[in-house]
Amino acid sequence: MRRMFHRPVPSCRLAVPLIPLILLALLAGQAGAGTLKGIVKDKDSGDELIGVDIVLVGHNLKTSTDIEGRFEITDLPAGTYEMRLTYLGYNARFLSDLKVRASGAVDIEVIMESFQAHAGGEMVVTANRVLSTESAILANRQQSSIIGDAISAAQISRSPDGTSGEALNRVTGLMVTDGRYLMIRGMPDRYSATTLNGIPVTSTDVYRDIKSFNFDLIPSNLLSSIVVLKSVTPEMPAEVTSGLVEVKTLEFPEKSTTKVGVSAGYVSDSTGEEVLQDAMVGSKDWLGMDDGSRDLPEFDTPRTDIVNRNQVARALPNRWATEGKTAGPKLSFNASHGNKQQLFGGKLGYQGALSFKNKIDVQPEGATREPIEGVGGEDSYSDALQHRYEVLWGGVGNVYYSFDENHRLGVTNVYTRSAESTVTEAEGEDSDSFNKWRRLNWEERYLYASRADGKHHLDFLTNGLDLEWGVYYGENAASQPDSRFVEYVVREQAGETVESMNANLRSWTWLDEYRRGWNVDLKYSFADHPDDEAHALKLKAGLARQRRNRDFDTEAWVTSPTFMPTSRALAFLPPEEIFAPENYNDVYDTRRGQLFNFILEDRYSGVYEAGHELKTAYVMAELPFTLFQEDLLLVGGVRLEDSDLWNYTIANPAAATVDTARIAGKDYFPSANLTWKYDEDFNIRLAYYESINRPEFRELSPVLRRDFVNYRWERGNPELKPSYAKNYDVRAEYFPGYGEVLAASFFYKDLSNAIEDSLTPTPEGDMRSFTNASEGRNYGFELEGRIKLDFWALTEDLTFSINYTRIWSEVEAVDPAKETYTRPLQGQAPWMINMYLMYDNPNTGTSLNVLYNNVGRRLYSAATNEAYGVYDNPYQHLDLVAVQKFRKRYQAKLAVKNILGGDKEKVYGLPIAELPYSTSGQSTEYSLSLSARF
pLDDT single digits (tens) 259-300? 888 999 999 888 998 988 888 888 999 999 999 899 988 766
What's CA 113's distance to the chain center, in Å? 39
The pLDDT assigned to 98 comes to 82
State the virtual CA torsion across 266, 270, 272, 273 in degrees, nearest 10: 170
Q: Distance between CA 31 and CA 409 in Å, rounded?
A: 21
Q: Strand, coil or helix: what is 287?
A: helix
Q: Distance between CA 846 and CA 303 in Å, rounded?
A: 66
Which span out of 24-28, 249-253, 433-437, 834-838 was modeled with the highest average pLDDT? Answer: 834-838
The 10 Å Cβ neighbour count of residue 757 is 20
Which residue, among 243, 205, 241, has the nearest Cα to 699 in the 3D structure? 205
- Give 89 or 496, the one with higher predicted confidence: 496
DSSP string, 551-592: EEEEEEEEEEE-SSHHHHHHTTS-HHHHT-GGG--SS--TTT
The pLDDT assigned to 794 comes to 78
Question: What pLDDT band is residue 599 in, cutting at 50, 70 and 90?
Answer: confident
Q: CB-based burial of residue 269 (10 Å sphere; 0-12 exposed, 13-18 middle, 19+ buried)?
A: middle
Which residue, among 67, 87, 39, has the nearest Cα to 351 in the 3D structure? 67
Three-state secondary structure string covering 874-912: CCCEEEEEEEEEECCCEEEEEEEECCCCCEEEEEECCCC
pLDDT single digits (tens) 714-755? 888 888 899 999 999 999 999 887 678 899 999 999 988 888
Q: Distance between CA 861 and CA 872 in Å, rounded?
A: 9
Cα–Cα–Cα angle for 129, 132, 137, nearest 5°?
A: 65
pLDDT at residue 612 greater than cutoff 80: yes
What backbone phi and psi angles, to 5 degrees, belong to 40?
Answer: -120, 130
Q: CB-based burial of residue 592 (10 Å sphere; 0-12 exposed, 13-18 middle, 19+ buried)?
A: middle
Element (H, E) at 315: helix 306-315
Which residues have a Cβ under 8 Å from the Cβ of 279 and sit 6 or more positions away? 319, 321, 322, 323, 576
The 10 Å Cβ neighbour count of residue 256 is 12
Residues in the chain: 934
pLDDT at residue 541 greater than cutoff 80: yes
Max CA-CA distance within the chain?
104
DSSP string, 762-797: ETTEEEEEEEEEEEEEEEEEEEEEEEE-TTSGGGTT
Q: Are strands 705-707 and 712-714 parallel, antiparallel or unpaired?
A: antiparallel
Euclidean distance between the first and final Cα of the chain, in Å? 53
pLDDT single digits (tens) 507-535? 999 999 999 999 999 998 887 766 666 67
The pLDDT assigned to 222 comes to 64
State which amino acid sits at residue 707: D
pLDDT single digits (tens) 141-160? 666 777 777 666 666 655 55
What backbone phi and psi angles, to 5 degrees, belong to 930?
Answer: -125, 140
Which residue, among 147, 150, 228, 152, has the nearest Cα to 193 in the 3D structure? 228
Q: CB-based burial of residue 119 (10 Å sphere; 0-12 exposed, 13-18 middle, 19+ buried)?
A: exposed
Which residues on adjacent β-strands are paired with residue 401?
348, 409
Q: Distance between CA 433 and CA 444 in Å, rounded?
A: 35
HSE-CB at 835 with a 13 A cutoff on CA atoms is 9
What's CA 47's distance to the chain center, in Å? 32
Q: Strand, coil or helix: what is 432?
A: coil
pLDDT at residue 188 greater than cutoff 80: no
Q: Distance between CA 842 and CA 159 in Å, rounded?
A: 18
The pLDDT assigned to 672 comes to 95
The pLDDT assigned to 121 comes to 34
Which residues on adjacent β-strands are paired with residue 355?
334, 394
HSE-CB at 31 with a 13 A cutoff on CA atoms is 6
Question: What pLDDT band is residue 376 in, cutting at 50, 70 and 90?
Answer: very low
Average pLDDT estimate for 849-867: 78
Question: What pLDDT band is residue 8 in, cutting at 50, 70 and 90?
Answer: very low
Q: CB-based burial of residue 379 (10 Å sphere; 0-12 exposed, 13-18 middle, 19+ buried)?
A: exposed
pLDDT single digits (tens) 625-683? 888 888 889 999 999 999 999 999 988 777 778 888 999 999 999 999 999 988 878 88
pLDDT at residue 11 greater than cutoff 60: no
CB 598 within 8 A of CB 580: no
Which residue, among 705, 918, 733, 902, has the nearest Cα to 269 in the 3D structure? 902
Q: Distance between CA 834 and CA 849 in Å, rounded?
A: 13
Q: Distance between CA 696 and CA 210 in Å, rounded?
A: 6
The pLDDT assigned to 547 comes to 95
Q: What is the CA radius of gyration of the chain?
A: 30
Question: What pLDDT band is residue 481 in, cutting at 50, 70 and 90?
Answer: very high
Q: CB-based burial of residue 732 (10 Å sphere; 0-12 exposed, 13-18 middle, 19+ buried)?
A: middle
pLDDT at residue 223 greater than cutoff 70: no
pLDDT single digits (tens) 385-404? 889 899 989 888 889 898 88
HSE-CB at 662 with a 13 A cutoff on CA atoms is 7
What's CA 487's distance to the chain center, in Å? 35
Q: Distance between CA 306 and CA 312 in Å, rounded?
A: 10
Q: CB-based burial of residue 783 (10 Å sphere; 0-12 exposed, 13-18 middle, 19+ buried)?
A: middle
Which residues have a Cβ under 8 Å from the Cβ of 317 and sit 6 or more positions away? 280, 293
pLDDT single digits (tens) 565-587? 666 778 888 898 888 888 887 66
Instruction: Enumerate long-range contacts of 492-500, CB under 8 Å, 24 or more apart.
Output: 498/572, 499/436, 499/572, 500/571, 500/572
Which residue, among 694, 513, 503, 511, has the nearest Cα to 606 in the 3D structure? 511
Question: What pLDDT band is residue 370 in, cutting at 50, 70 and 90?
Answer: very low
Question: What pLDDT band is residue 31 in, cutting at 50, 70 and 90?
Answer: very low
The 10 Å Cβ neighbour count of residue 545 is 15
pLDDT single digits (tens) 544-560? 999 999 999 988 899 88
Q: Distance between CA 67 and CA 685 in Å, rounded?
A: 30
pLDDT single digits (tens) 114-124? 754 333 333 23
Which residue, among 834, 904, 912, 825, has the nearest Cα to 867 in the 3D structure? 912
